[in-house]
Amino acid sequence: TTETTTATPATATPGAEIPSDGSTTHARLASWVAEVAALTTPDRIHWVTGSDEEWKALTDELVEVGTFTRLNEDLKPNSFHCASDPSDVARVEDRTYICSVEEKDAGPTNNWMAPDEMKAIMTDLYRGSMKGRTLYVIPFVMGHLNADKPMFGVEITDSAYVVASMRVMARIGTKVLKRIEELDADFVPALHSVGAPLEPGQKDVAWPCSDTKYIVQFPEERMIWSYGSGYGGNALLGKKCYSLRIASVMARDEGWLAEHMLILKLTSPEGTVKYIAAAFPSACGKTNLAMLEPTIPGWKVETLGDDIAWMKFGKDGRLYAVNPEFGLFGVAPGTGWDTNPNAMRTIAKGNSVFTNVALTDDGDIWWEGMTEEKPAHLIDWKGRDWTPESTEPSSHPNSRFCTPIEQCPILAPEYDDPQGVPISAILFGGRRKTTIPLVTEARDWVHGTFMGATLSSETTAAATGAVGVVRRDPMAMLPFIGYNAGDYFNHWIKVGKDADAAKLPKIFYVNWFRRDADGGFVWPGFGENSRVLKWVVERLEGTAAAVETPIGHVPTPESLDTDGLDMTEEQLRIALNVDADEWAAEIPQIQEWFDKFGPTLPTTLWTELDGLKARLGVK
């Protein structure tokens, strides 16, 4: 027998023996990639260019291994169906950590572990985790490449699904890498592995992932480590991890706001333009509102973003918002020609990835709520035959469409302006059966911050865990605040204090989901929400009436345009009602929520609560 000894090559760069089709002149990036490659031991390294040829090769390969099914070219050109592992379908908040140096900086709403301890655990998990796979290097920028200060990131991942999705969701590839190199810029390193190494000869599964999952932000280092999941918010690290958790920390340090908000442009029949940002928890109709088709004549909505807004003060003292993303990652079920025709038109143009929806017999996709009539036969998201008689829905409730925002037929041209748009109103909204009126205007910025800080919603399928339970979701940011939420409230108050009050956006609290005693929705929602937007604009212009109530300014029934609306007086009354008993029940819940924050809760918010109690006559 011949003995072969394999000595480790003595190279200066660890990982350099792994074949790579690219490189960089950026020293820190080069050494980080080499270091990760040495730890995770992939078979090869691919530097993502973002080209059409690369997209073709990647998607072909995903079809080949069974992760993607190519859809009918005539119905959904250049589009793919994908089914995840049934256990990997949503963000995993209980596995999500803010690993700040000090525990107090993660605050009472985040999971925390000491950075060194987390790094030790995860380094062990990453060791050899990319064996048999390709390590992809994805240079990306959140926001515009030509921003004054472009917000760069580089994601390393071993998932081709992630690369394909990142290409839709963010500006990526060679042009970004070139810019990082030219500027010798800082970037947020974002490391992702599905945690499913392949032994030689081992056949891959369609959706590799691990039972062990960690989604970790290191706020001081501006660094992200993610392991074990391939799902959107856990794996497309430019989205929630960077643009909200890490960016919120940057925003705190630099005096701006990184928020879970859509951005829309509203034009009145007279041609007055207002830009509105709105925060809702996941799966509360944010994408629908962003693309709303007004039912009231002459009003026009255009979209700038459906999920994230970065807001900075301009030289004129106004707050300007940009959408850092490049695509839409919308909840599929409930999206249809009646509820969101513009989303339907956006996906009809193709170039999209659909995850955990059903497949039709003619190679298209379907989900609950897409059409009134259910198809006679489908393959459901778990790969089983489905008919209208089936007892389970065909699509997972958190199934998603991932589609380029530039395909949206009502995209506002300002979307591409690196300076963003001046925001006139901020809406906070939740899903509440009771208590919260259709719309309430805050008295001022601090009161609006109080509304945001106490925002509550019934939980949805966008995160794992029980559905339908009321939880506080401050500014719809509960799972996304990258630091102590008490400090975050303080930051909101400080932003208001440092600004010219007259130029600050006005704040409103909305609830489309109130129900009557029989459990029916009292407000029709969807396109009819334009009536609420109209009232908001008229409040901004000082022309609409309101009643001053203990909780803020609520429309008089006459001030809300209900022309042609099929709604009873009683339904309208319930929609706008400020019910003393319901509020008396709400107060102890707010108190309990505030108590969680101890001394980090700004005293101004306690003062707001005291004022509310006094006005309600609650002890």
Residues annotated as catalytic (active site), given as ranges: 284
Closest CA to 408 of 357, 333, 351: 351
Answer for the pair 260, 307: CB distance below 8 angstroms, yes or no.
yes
- 10 annotated as ligand-binding: no
Contact between 307 and Mn ion by CB under 5 A: the answer reads yes
Contact between 282 and Mn ion by CB under 5 A: the answer reads yes
Contact between 161 and ligand SAT by CB under 6 A: the answer reads no
Cβ-based nearer residue to ligand SAT, 39 or 164: 164
Contact between 239 and ligand SAT by CB under 6 A: the answer reads yes
Order of strands, sheet of 68-70, starting from the edge strand that comes earlier in the sequence = 68-70, 80-82, 353-355, 400-404, 327-331
Contact between 487 and Mn ion by CB under 5 A: the answer reads no
Among residues 299, 326, 329, 366, the one that binds ligand SAT under rule CB under 6 A: 329
Answer for the pair 402, 168: CB distance below 8 angstroms, yes or no.
yes
Please name the residue ranges forming H helices in 71-213.
115-126, 160-169, 174-183
Residue 214 tokens read as: 């960690």
- 91 annotated as ligand-binding: yes
Cβ-based nearer residue to ligand SAT, 171 or 239: 239
Residue 381 binding result from ligand SAT, Mn ion, none, given CB thresholds of 5 to 8 Å by partner type: none
Contact between 232 and ligand SAT by CB under 6 A: the answer reads yes
- 307 annotated as ligand-binding: yes
> Residues binding ligand SAT: what is the number (CB under 6 A)?
9
Parallel, antiparallel, or unpaired: how do β-strands 188-193 and 546-549 relate? unpaired
Among residues 129, 282, 323, 356, the one that binds ligand SAT under rule CB under 6 A: 282
Min separation Cβ 248 and ligand SAT, Å: 15
Contact between 230 and ligand SAT by CB under 6 A: the answer reads no
- 20 annotated as ligand-binding: no
Cβ-based nearer residue to ligand SAT, 446 or 462: 462
Tokens 């003595």 identify what position? Answer: 10
Contact between 84 and ligand SAT by CB under 6 A: the answer reads no
Residues 317-336 that bind Mn ion (CB under 5 A): none
Contact between 280 and ligand SAT by CB under 6 A: the answer reads no
SS3 annotation, 315-329: CCCCEEEECCCCEEE
For 573, phi then psi, to 5°, come to: -60, -45
Min separation Cβ 94 and Mn ion, Å: 18
373's CB contacts (< 8 A; 6+ apart) are none
- 22 annotated as ligand-binding: no
Answer for the pair 410, 420: CB distance below 8 angstroms, yes or no.
no
Min separation Cβ 250 and Mn ion, Å: 19
548's CB contacts (< 8 A; 6+ apart) are none
State how far the Cα of 301 lies from the Cα of 439, in Å rounded to an integer.
19
Min separation Cβ 286 and Mn ion, Å: 7
Parallel, antiparallel, or unpaired: how do β-strands 300-305 and 309-313 relate? unpaired
- 526 annotated as ligand-binding: yes
Answer for the pair 214, 97: CB distance below 8 angstroms, yes or no.
yes
Contact between 240 and ligand SAT by CB under 6 A: the answer reads yes
Cβ-based nearer residue to ligand SAT, 93 or 103: 93
State how far the Cα of 572 lies from the Cα of 73, in Å rounded to an integer.
46
State how far the Cα of 373 lies from the Cα of 391, in Å rounded to an integer.
16
Tokens 């391939």 identify what position? Answer: 230
- 284 annotated as ligand-binding: yes
Closest CA to 36 of 121, 116, 140, 155: 155
State how far the Cα of 259 lies from the Cα of 558, in Å rounded to an integer.
33
- 408 annotated as ligand-binding: no
Among residues 26, 46, 91, 447, the one that binds ligand SAT under rule CB under 6 A: 91
The residue range among 69-77, 231-239, 419-427, 596-604 that interacts with ligand SAT, by the rule CB under 6 A, is 231-239
Parallel, antiparallel, or unpaired: how do β-strands 80-82 and 353-355 relate? parallel
Please name the residue ranges forming H helices in 65-169.
115-126, 160-169
- 233 annotated as ligand-binding: yes
Min separation Cβ 400 and ligand SAT, Å: 7
Residue 166 binding result from Mn ion, ligand SAT, none, given CB thresholds of 5 to 8 Å by partner type: none
For 176, phi then psi, to 5°, come to: -75, -45
Burial annotation 288-299 (CB, 10 A radius, 16+ → b, else e) = bbbbbbbbbeeb
Among residues 15, 219, 228, 233, the one that binds ligand SAT under rule CB under 6 A: 233
Q: What residue is closest to ligand SAT based on CB?
A: 233
Min separation Cβ 232 and ligand SAT, Å: 3
Answer for the pair 115, 218: CB distance below 8 angstroms, yes or no.
yes
Site string for Mn ion, 250-279 (x = CB under 5 A): ------------------------------
The residue type at 428: F
Contact between 39 and ligand SAT by CB under 6 A: the answer reads no
Cβ-based nearer residue to ligand SAT, 234 or 559: 234
Residue 276 tokens read as: 């509105």
- 243 annotated as ligand-binding: no
Residue 558 tokens read as: 């006459």
Q: Residues forming the annotated binding site?
A: 91, 231-233, 240, 260, 282-288, 307, 398-400, 431, 526-529
- What are the residues binding ligand SAT (CB under 6 A)? 91, 232-233, 239-240, 282, 307, 329, 462
